[in-house]
């Protein structure tokens, strides 16, 4: 097995792991801790607080109807398919791992929206009354970190040109 295929398999395993952990955590929080009934303060700056998210990132594109819900499912599924194909075309593990984070997180949120009609959010980072983020979940965090890694790698890494492609210096 060549390294590119191995890297892709590792990436798909990362995506699957993020999906499984996200869904297990949401299930435990909803059915074990029952966070929909109360807020659980973990730290002075972090709580578990149940929120039904009918929108996407930052609460944008809120689905207020069944048609809107299915449009969001279709849109996010199309993005997930695009990311999956991108993973299959990449060769470097750094790029694949970042894309896998996006894919795993997207799959977790797509399943929520498909099964429940909304995405389960629960992580509330706050400093007094100031909340630098909306309430989010593990899938959202994986997507955000994956996108930031993709951006950083694309902005900071430069392909070195082949020595053969450079013209020979004149004597």
Mean pLDDT split into 10-residue runs, the chain, 171 residues: 91 98 97 92 95 77 81 93 96 96 97 94 92 91 96 82 58 54
pLDDT for 51 equals: 93
Catalytic-labelled residue, pool 22, 112, 124, 140: 140
pLDDT for 160 equals: 59
pLDDT for 62 equals: 76
CA-based nearest residue to 109, from 22, 25, 34, 48 = 22
pLDDT for 161 equals: 57
Q: How far is CA 12 from the centre of its chain?
A: 13
pLDDT for 114 equals: 94
pLDDT for 5 equals: 92
Residues 6+ apart with CB under 8 A from 104: 14, 15, 16, 17, 18, 19, 22, 139, 142
* Token reading at 18: 């993020």
Catalytic-labelled residue, pool 112, 121, 124, 162: 121
pLDDT for 55 equals: 81
Q: What is the spatial distance between Cα 5 and Cα 62, in angstroms, rounded to a whole number?
A: 38
CA distances 150 to 12, 122, 135, Å, are: 16, 26, 23
Q: Does residue 140 have an active-site annotation?
A: yes
Q: Does residue 124 have an active-site annotation?
A: no
Q: What is the DSSP string of 86-147?
A: HHHH---HHHHHHHHHHHHHHHHHHHHHHHHSSEEEEEEE-BTTB-SS-SB-HHHHHHHHHH
């Amino acid at each position: 097995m060549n390294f590119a295929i191995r890297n892709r398999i590792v990436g798909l395993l990362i995506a699957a792991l993020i999906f499984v952990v996200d869904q297990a955590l949401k299930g435990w929080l909803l059915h074990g801790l029952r966070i929909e009934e109360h807020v659980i303060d973990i730290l002075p700056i972090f709580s578990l607080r149940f929120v039904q998210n009918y929108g996407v990132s930052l609460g944008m594109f809120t689905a207020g109807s069944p048609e809107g819900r299915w449009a969001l499912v279709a849109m996010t599924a199309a993005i997930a398919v695009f990311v999956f194909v991108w993973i299959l075309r990449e060769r470097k593990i750094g790029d694949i791992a970042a894309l896998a984070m996006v894919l795993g997180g997207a799959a977790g949120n797509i399943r929520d929206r498909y099964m429940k009609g909304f995405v389960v959010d629960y992580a509330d980072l706050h400093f007094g009354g100031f909340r630098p983020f909306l309430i989010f979940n593990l899938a959202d965090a994986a997507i955000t970190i994956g996108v930031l890694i993709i951006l950083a790698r694309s902005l900071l890494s430069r392909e070195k040109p082949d020595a053969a492609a450079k013209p020979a210096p004149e004597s």
